[in-house]
Amino acid sequence: MAVRKHSYKNQDGQILLLSIILMLAITIMGVSMLGNARKSASASTNIKNRAQAFYASDAIMTLLTQEILDGHEGKYLGSTATLVGTSVGSLGDPSTGSYQQLDEMHIIRSSGSDIWGTADHGYFAYIPLSGDVDIKARVVGLTGTNLNVWAKAGIMLRSSLNNNAINIFGCITPGNGVSRQYRSSLGASSNYTNKTGYSCPIWLRMKRTGNIVTLYMSHDGSAWTDSMSPVTINLGTGIYAGLAVTSHDNSNLCIGSFDRVEGLVAEESVQGTGTWVVDNYNVDWTVQRTSSGGLTITTDAYKDDPLGNKMFSAPLQQHLERGQIGGYPPVQWQKVVLYDYHYVNNDFNNCLCKTGSAVKGMVTTTLSSERKPVYAGTASDLNCTTPPLGNPCSGHISSWFEPSSRGAGIQFRANSLEWTGLVPVVTKDSHYDSAGWVSPSWCNGAWANIVYYDSLPFQRIGDSATGTYEYTNDAYFPLQNKGFYFTDTLYEPGTGQKRLYPSPQQGLNYSFTMEMHCQFTYRGGEKFKFKGDDDVWVFLNGSLAIDIGGIHAYLSDSVALDDFAATHDMHIGHDYWFDFFFAERHITDSHCRITTNLDLFRSIEARRNWRRDYGRITY
């Protein structure tokens, strides 16, 4: 009988093989799990990097946007150049002379015996320019220990940096107001004219056209109504223009602080670029002005790999446009200030100058420091030779748009269209008229007025894509049943005395004035048209654009901003003042029609068009 024997050797080999396969499988699984874990960790890290890159890019985008919306786009487009500081002549201690720029603030420290005479000694922060120039700056402060009354800080143009150079210098002083001085030839003595009543802060403006240089002064940087007489001075084609300070005492330090500097740039840039670092991420940024006057902002946050390539790139783009998202609304409101006058006085209905046609030249071509019209004094309506009192028809223009009996502390704020320091007017039964306001020192008489605040509804013309609006009213009596309309309504505050002069005529409240002030962004192609009666004056960028003075019939005039801008220093994408003045002075009709596509209502929003692309992500 045959017996089968088992091969234990083969069995052992099979077990060994199975063990090896199992170990390999376990190893492979472990390696795979480890790889997946590492890949997962890498993915998590890269997601974190991507998120951090986005936040860095968005942070700079938000910062740039806010800065630009706050009016500081010049910091990123190069509207103010980097000035170079140097001493002119000698300083008591050369180390005391310095120039520093901190954001929009320019700070100059200087001693120096004076910028005056045949040679100058002070400190000058300048840029080389050529041709015509128009430089503006606000002198914020002029400080120092034992400051001399003739210490100076202001705007200067020089033919060279030599201390005996031809120059003209417009400056503020601690004790002598504003000084305009110049040296007309090399090494010659200096000449000067000064105006007292000015102190810091003050805006100065120096404008050169050919060889004619004029210095202007302003309290708000918008209305340049005060100036020194022009000077003819040959500085040459290429000049050095900038900010200068001298202490007028070589043993003392003087510090001049400036901001709102404009015009010290050879050519305004339409694009600015830079790179900032946020939490170890480089952030490249660009600000680009568009042809429509808007701005395109781009940011890109990233890290560099060992080869210098970008990792985790997070580019964003945003467009800032002037316009109404979703279209222009059907109605927009604009605030105005009204002044109710008595029926009888020399400028209003009692005026004998009723020509029936427009009278030009009644106001100057620029506004006062409070943005009010200024009586020209030589208006053509002087042909009225038999007025009861004063200059016919226009002698009180400069006070038509302010409270009567105005006392100290009463000031006009054009930005908010309101007067400070007024009190409610008192009625016959000793109640307050919450709508009417007067000066605390109000005195009832022929020239008394009452201030009212109101708003005009402007209706959109056309569909929502257009920005043209119109206010039209062929019976414009906004003070009906108010103010001087009723004979027995008003008492003088605190006296109980009746008012003196009734104004109602034909059942309507005539004899009033109205003003409107706001800022707009010049986009190109805008027009403004007025039709009505009586006097209307429109100022753009502080200069007279429409002049329809006099007591007359229904008349119209218009201005195309592109034509006006070409001769009045206005540029697309910049903000400018709009000032409107209206007077109803007769008792026949009152018409007011305004049609414009000026953005007087500030219907401005930032259109954020995002493009999010995180680029190449390397695991």
Q: What is the pLDDT of residue 495?
A: 39
pLDDT bucket at 602, cuts 50 / 70 / 90 = low
Q: Is residue 486 part of a domain?
A: yes
The domain boundary residue, chosen from 262, 285, 303: 262
Contact status, residue 82 vs residue 293, Cβ threshold 8 Å = no
Same domain, 236 and 350: no
Lowest mean pLDDT among 310-314, 410-414, 443-447: 443-447
Between CA 148 and CA 142 the distance in angstroms is: 11
Contact status, residue 438 vs residue 425, Cβ threshold 8 Å = yes
Q: Is residue 100 part of a domain?
A: yes
Average pLDDT over every residue of 307-319: 84
pLDDT bucket at 427, cuts 50 / 70 / 90 = low
Give the chain's largest Cα–Cα span.
Answer: 163
CA angle at 594 for the pair 591 and 600, rounded to the nearest 5°: 145
pLDDT bucket at 350, cuts 50 / 70 / 90 = low
- Does residue 311 register a pLDDT over 70? yes
Lowest mean pLDDT among 366-375, 475-484, 520-529: 475-484
Same domain, 404 and 451: yes
pLDDT bucket at 319, cuts 50 / 70 / 90 = confident
Between CA 496 and CA 583 the distance in angstroms is: 30
Average pLDDT over every residue of 353-359: 65
Closest by CA position to 355, among listed 537, 216, 551: 551
Average pLDDT over every residue of 514-530: 91
Beta strands at 191-195 and 178-183: parallel, antiparallel or unpaired: antiparallel
Among residues of the chain, what percentage have pLDDT more than 70?
76
Contact status, residue 607 vs residue 327, Cβ threshold 8 Å = no
- Does residue 66 register a pLDDT over 90? no
- Does residue 386 register a pLDDT over 50? no
**Structure tokens of 413?**
């704020």
Q: What is the pLDDT of residue 11?
A: 64
Q: Is residue 426 part of a domain?
A: yes
Average pLDDT over every residue of 398-419: 86
pLDDT bucket at 118, cuts 50 / 70 / 90 = very high
Assign residue 127 the CATH number of its domain: 2.60.120.200
Average pLDDT over every residue of 200-218: 92
Burial per residue of 34-73, b for 16 or more beta-carbon CB atoms within 10 angstroms, e otherwise = eeeeeeeeeeeebeebbebbbebbbbbbeebbeebeeeeb
Tokens 């603030």 locate to 105
Same domain, 353 and 375: yes
pLDDT bucket at 353, cuts 50 / 70 / 90 = low
Average pLDDT over every residue of 505-533: 86
Average pLDDT over every residue of 365-387: 67
Closest by CA position to 567, among listed 546, 589, 540: 540
Between CA 387 and CA 534 the distance in angstroms is: 19
Q: What is the pLDDT of residue 52?
A: 87
Closest by CA position to 438, among listed 460, 410, 473, 468: 410
Within 70-112, residue ranges assigned H as helices are 74-77
- Does residue 240 register a pLDDT over 90? yes
pTM (2 d.p.): 0.53
Average pLDDT over every residue of 562-577: 87
Between CA 425 and CA 502 the distance in angstroms is: 16
- Share the mean pLDDT of the chain: 79
Same domain, 250 and 130: yes
Report how many domains make up the chain.
3
Average pLDDT over every residue of 229-253: 92
pLDDT digits 0-9 by tens, 279-310: 888 999 988 877 666 788 899 999 888 887 88
**Structure tokens of 562?**
């592109």
Q: Is residue 12 part of a domain?
A: no
* Highest mean predicted confidence (pLDDT) among 128-142, 169-183, 312-326, 452-466: 169-183
Average pLDDT over every residue of 432-455: 79
Q: Is residue 351 part of a domain?
A: yes
Q: What is the pLDDT of residue 616?
A: 43
Strand (E) positions, 219-294? Answer: 226-227, 231-232, 238-246, 254-262, 271-278, 281-289
pLDDT bucket at 136, cuts 50 / 70 / 90 = very high
Average pLDDT over every residue of 340-351: 70
- Look at 193 and 30; give whichever has higher pLDDT: 193
Q: Is residue 602 part of a domain?
A: no
- Does residue 225 register a pLDDT over 80? no
Residue ranges making up the domain that contains 618? 53-76+272-322+607-619
pLDDT bucket at 379, cuts 50 / 70 / 90 = very low
Backbone angles phi, psi at 333, to 5 degrees: -110, 140
pLDDT bucket at 402, cuts 50 / 70 / 90 = very high
* Cα radius of gyration rounded to whole Å, the chain: 35
Same domain, 236 and 375: no
Same domain, 303 and 206: no
* Highest mean predicted confidence (pLDDT) among 254-268, 406-420, 539-553: 539-553
Between CA 594 and CA 529 the distance in angstroms is: 6
Strand (E) positions, 479-554? Answer: 504-505, 508-509, 512-521, 527-533, 536-540, 543-548
Same domain, 530 and 580: yes
Q: Is residue 27 part of a domain?
A: no
Same domain, 355 and 453: yes
- Does residue 510 register a pLDDT over 60? yes
Same domain, 133 and 162: yes
pLDDT bucket at 195, cuts 50 / 70 / 90 = very high
Same domain, 226 and 293: no
pLDDT bucket at 545, cuts 50 / 70 / 90 = very high
Whole-angstrom CA distances from 482 to 138, 405, 494, 509, 555 are 43, 20, 20, 8, 27
pLDDT bucket at 363, cuts 50 / 70 / 90 = confident
Q: What is the pLDDT of residue 321?
A: 64
Q: What is the pLDDT of residue 508?
A: 76
pLDDT bucket at 382, cuts 50 / 70 / 90 = very low
How does DSSP assign 172-220, residue by residue? E-SSS-EEEEEE-STTPPPEEEEE-S--SSEEEEEEEETTEEEEEEESS
7, with CB counted inside 10 A (0-12, 13-18, 19+), is exposed
Same domain, 238 and 347: no
Q: What is the pLDDT of residue 411?
A: 87
Residues 6 or more apart whose CB falls under 8 angstroms from that of 482 comprise: 340, 433, 435, 436, 450, 452, 509
Phi/psi region, residue 279 (left: phi>0; alpha: psi -120 to 50; beta: rest), is: left
- Does residue 394 register a pLDDT over 80? no
Q: What is the pLDDT of residue 10?
A: 58
Closest by CA position to 599, among listed 495, 502, 469, 500: 469
Q: Is residue 35 part of a domain?
A: no
- Does residue 126 register a pLDDT over 80? yes
**Structure tokens of 487?**
């004979």
- Does residue 177 register a pLDDT over 90? yes
- Look at 37 and 256; give whichever has higher pLDDT: 256
Same domain, 97 and 240: yes
